[in-house]
Amino acid sequence: MLLPVPAVVLLLIGLIAVAPLALASPPDPLWVGGLFDADDGDDVVLAVTSADGATDGATLDAIKALWPVLGAVPPAGPIDRARSALPVFHGRAPPIA
């Protein structure tokens, strides 16, 4: 299924705009006295945008190996519709004392 062109353009704009928005740093509050070197959220932005948690691609290779396993298995023979409509769970009452 192909996406319409406006949807693709919006998706690309969204992906391109994420990095500058993540790297944006709010200005230090000048109306409050003191030095805001490590308490203005810059460390959070650096932690989110750093590549410390990036993988080397081995995980993707493991996922690619699962694709043949996730395929559909066709039925071996014709399906008996009358038998397949029976309830799976048969409830059980406690014995009469």
> Which among 62, 55, 20, 27 has a CA at the least distance from the CA of 41?
27
The tens-digit pLDDT sequence of the chain (97 residues) is 677 888 889 988 888 888 777 777 666 666 666 655 555 566 666 666 776 666 666 666 666 666 666 666 777 777 766 665 556 665 676 777 5
Q: What is the pLDDT of residue 16?
A: 86
**Can you tell me the distance from the alpha carbon of 88 to that of 91, in angstroms, rounded to the nearest whole number?**
10
**Can you tell me the distance from the alpha carbon of 53 to that of 85, in angstroms, rounded to the nearest whole number?**
50
Q: What is the dihedral of CA 26, 27, 33, 39, to 10 degrees?
A: 30
